[in-house]
Amino acid sequence: MNAVPSSTYFSAPPDWGWFIVSYFFFGGLAGGCYLFAGLIDLYGHAEDRPLARLGYYIAFSSVAVSGPLLTLDLGQPLRFWHMLIESNTYRPMLKPWSPMSSGSWALLAFGAFTFLGCLGALAETGLLAWPVARRVRPPGLPGVVIVSIGALLGLYVAGYTGVLLAVTNRPIWSDTPLLGMLFVVSAASVSAALMILLANRFKWTMPGLSALHRIDTWAVGLELVVLIAVMISLGPVFRALLNAWGVLLLVVVVVGMLIPLTLYRRAQSLGDRNASIAAALVLLGGFVLRLVIVFAAEGT
Amino acid sequence: MAEPMGFYTDTTVCIGCKACEVACKEWNQLPSTNGGVSTLSGDSYDNTRRLDGTHWRHVKFIEQFPEDRKDGRWLLMSDVCKHCVQAACLEVCPTGAIIRTEFDTVVIQSDVCNGCRDCIAACPFGVIETNPVSGTAQKCTLCYDRLQSGMEPACSKACPTQSIQFGTIRELHERAQKRVDQLHQVGEKRAYLYGADDKMLGGLNSFYLLVDEPEVYGLPPDPKLPSRNVIPGALFSVLGALLLGAISIFNFRTRTAGDHGEARP
């Protein structure tokens, strides 16, 4: 094994596959949707409340899916709790410098906040006859505090997965420090896209939805810039993407970023078909982006 | 704490007999075949191929011959976990399954490991893999059970040429340096120690005498700790979050003519 572009080429692949790719996607969705729901609650109008509720529902559902995905990926699924509790001493198990360890705690804590958000949303609609639950969302100081902390945790969950990949010795993953940033930005783009897609399906036209369109345009643009920065930062390791995975990444750039940006610009009104197609492509692109990043390194 | 123990592997006297591989499998009760199927690699005399969850020792056969095969040499090396002083696997393990023992070796507790495989991606040497039988990550323990009983690891005990030597790290360093000096005196100027000093991950408790570049033996020239990316990765993520937060807050606070659905978003 001579003349490899990086010392990372001597490590072994961990065989992280579809479960992990899916978790990265749903974790990003959960974090991004909670962030937007919280921001709508904090800064939006009264008409935007249904959009915020949608965000809380998606966030909770995504976290609910994430737990089983992570557990099923383990070689010993029944020992999933070893991530949180030392099995020998029953003391809390936390290594702040290990993204997988800190991320497990963050996901657990964030799950609790998404649950509260979901309760608050259900209480607001009257589906949950528990008036106290309405206080877990703004306005009101308890709601503001809960949503602020939850949004920060959501950003953590959205981004730590990229840092987790970087904190290894695998080619591509550990050859750039920008994967966390890419995942955070991508989490925002896919989350806004899913909320737009569902809101269009429900034929909503509230002011917050228009803001989400603008945010998604920004997020997709930023995602493209960060992805280019990732490629540049890889240096000679970039050649690991000169294969089918690289072609797929190019498809992501065109279909999942450039075409949606064009379609968003062409959309004439909220609920426009162009906007729905753009949002669907952003969602698809966000999933395939994670797929390429995980699998390209697995095969190197 | 006992004095740090480890292996010094002199690759110049390895004859590729694989007694170390057999002794390791026998003592650690590792399967000798892959699910009952023995397959040939077609790569020299190496059918083990690599270190993994059921192969904790691997004798590498490196053939350095020109096309006409008039000249050339074999490089043989018995590879194993390096038991790094600053161990990447131990650093990332989220369950506490990977521990440093009283002998300064690195051991995976199979009953604690949940098979997340973070250590596999973290190890710069590609030493660890999942054992399909246990579903957990496994690697050389430097025969921790034997060490606790005052015994020598099975592989070094079985090595017929003293290529694998076991002892205290201090003693092994002295022995290895003498051997390098001896080889230099007889004209083998390429001999050097890989991982003996603390510049490489704080020192490897299993270090090697090599006579070619590390890459030739499948070893990284400058292995690094995964934690090098924690701070830069986190800072860039925070930067991304701040940018998004600012964009989102700005847009949710700003109202335009298009905010009620009649104009384009």
pLDDT digits over B185-222, tens only? 999 999 999 999 999 999 999 999 999 999 999 999 99
Interval B132-163: pLDDT, tens: 999 999 999 999 999 999 999 999 999 999 99
pLDDT for residue A95: 95
Q: What is the pLDDT of residue A87?
A: 94
Shortest distance, CA A128 to any CA of chain B (angstroms): 28
- Is pLDDT at A160 greater than 50 in this prediction? yes
The residue in chain A having the minimum alpha-carbon distance to the alpha carbon of residue B120 is A14
**Contact of A290 with A264, CB cutoff 8 Å:** no
The conformation of residue B17, written as its DSSP 8-state character, comes to -
Q: Determine the average pLDDT of the residues in A70-90.
A: 96
The strand pairing partners of A66, in sequence order, are none
The predicted model gives A222-237 an average pLDDT of 97
Q: What is the pLDDT of residue B37?
A: 74
Contacts of A203 in chain B (CB under 8 A): none
Beta-bridge mates of residue A139: none
Alpha carbon distance B46, B42 (integer Å)? 8
> Considering only CB atoms, which chain A residues are within 8 Å of B216?
1-2
Give the pLDDT score at B264.
Answer: 38
Q: Check residue A132 and give its pLDDT.
A: 86
Minimal CA separation from A78 to chain B, in Å: 8
CB contact under 8 A, A82 and B229: no
Q: pTM above the 0.90 mark?
A: yes
pLDDT score, position A181 = 98
**Residue whose entry in the numeric block shows the structure tokens 């952003």:** A282
- Cross-chain Cβ contact B219/A267 below 8 Å: no
A218 touches chain B (CB under 8 A): yes
pLDDT number for residue A74: 97
The mean pLDDT value of chain B amounts to 93
> What's the mean pLDDT in A237-262?
96
**B265 pLDDT tier (thresholds 50, 70, 90):** very low
Report pLDDT digits (tens) over B14-71. Answer: 999 999 999 999 999 998 876 677 788 888 999 999 999 999 999 999 999 999 888 8
Q: Smallest Cβ distance to B241: which of A155, A169, A272?
A: A155
Cα–chain center distance at B146: 21
Q: Between A167, A177, A219, which is nearest B92 by CB?
A: A167
Does residue A99 belong to the interface with chain B, where contact is any CB pair within 8 Å?
Answer: yes
DSSP 8-state class, residue B215: G
Chain B residues 240-259 with a CB less than 8 Å from chain A? 240-241, 243-245, 247-249, 251-256, 258-259
Alpha-carbon distance B59 to nearest alpha carbon in chain A (angstroms): 16
**pLDDT-derived band of residue A273, with 50, 70 and 90 as boundaries?**
confident
CATH class of A12-298: mainly alpha
Mean pLDDT of B89-110: 97
Residue B257's pLDDT is what?
A: 46
The pLDDT of residue B189: 97
Whole-number pLDDT of residue A143: 94
Of B123, B136, B247, the CB nearest to A11: B123
Is B92 within 8 Å of chain A by CB? yes
Measure the CA–CA gap between A58 and A118, rounded to whole angstroms.
Answer: 9
Residue with the bigger pLDDT between A184 and A133: it is A184
Q: Per-residue pLDDT for A3 more than 90?
A: no
Compare all CA atoms of chain B with the CA of A4 and give the residue at the minimum distance.
B215
| Contact B226/A at CB under 8 A | yes
pLDDT of residue B100: 97
A167 at interface of B, judged by CB pairs closer than 8 A:
yes
A279 in reach of chain B (CB within 8 A): no
- Which residue of B lies nearest to A185 if distances are taken between CA atoms? B240
What is the reported pLDDT for B254?
Answer: 72
> CA–CA separation, B151 vs B23, rounded Å?
14
Higher pLDDT, A300 or B86: B86
- pLDDT on residue A44: 87
Mean pLDDT of chain A: 94
pLDDT at residue B259, rounded to an integer: 53
CA dihedral A32, A36, A41, A46 (to 10 degrees): -140
Least confident range of A85-99, A248-262, B5-19, B22-36: B22-36
Distance (Å) from the alpha carbon of A88 to chain B's nearest alpha carbon: 8
A273 touching chain B per CB within 8 A: no
Residue B262: predicted pLDDT? 40
CA distance A42 to A61: 22
Domain B5-224, CATH: 3.30.70.20
Contact B240/A219, CB-based, under 8 Å? no
Q: What is the mean pLDDT of residues A197-201?
A: 94
Scan for tokens 């692949």, then name that residue. Answer: A13
| Residue A269 pLDDT greater than 80, yes or no | no
Show which of residues 6-25 on chain A sit within 8 Å of chain B, judged by CB atoms. Answer: 7-16
Q: Please report which confidence band the pLDDT of residue A57 belongs to, taking 50, 70 and 90 as the band edges.
A: very high
Question: Which one of B128, B135, B261 has the shortest CB-CB distance to A205?
Answer: B261
DSSP label at residue B11: G
Q: Which of residues 143-202 of B touch A (CB under 8 A)?
A: none
Range B169-177, long-range pairs (CB < 8 A, 24+ positions): B169/B3, B169/B4, B169/B5, B169/B6, B169/B104, B169/B203, B169/B205, B170/B3, B170/B4, B172/B6, B172/B7, B172/B8, B172/B207, B173/B8, B175/B8, B176/B8, B176/B10, B176/B207, B176/B209
Percent of all residues in chain B with a pLDDT value above 70, rounded to a whole number: 94
Q: Mark yes or no for CB contact A264/B128 under 8 Å.
A: no
Instruction: Using a CB–CB cutoff of 8 Å, tell me whether B29 touches chain A.
Output: no
Q: Which residue of B has its CA nearest to A39?
A: B249
CA pair distance B6, B214, nearest whole angstrom: 20
- pLDDT number for residue B186: 97
pLDDT of residue B198: 94
A123 CA to centre of own chain: 26
Chain B neighbors of A155, CB-CB under 8 A: 241, 244-245
pLDDT of residue A2: 56
Q: Which residues of chain B lie closer than 8 angstroms to A208, CB-CB?
A: 252
CB contact A170 to B (< 8 Å): yes
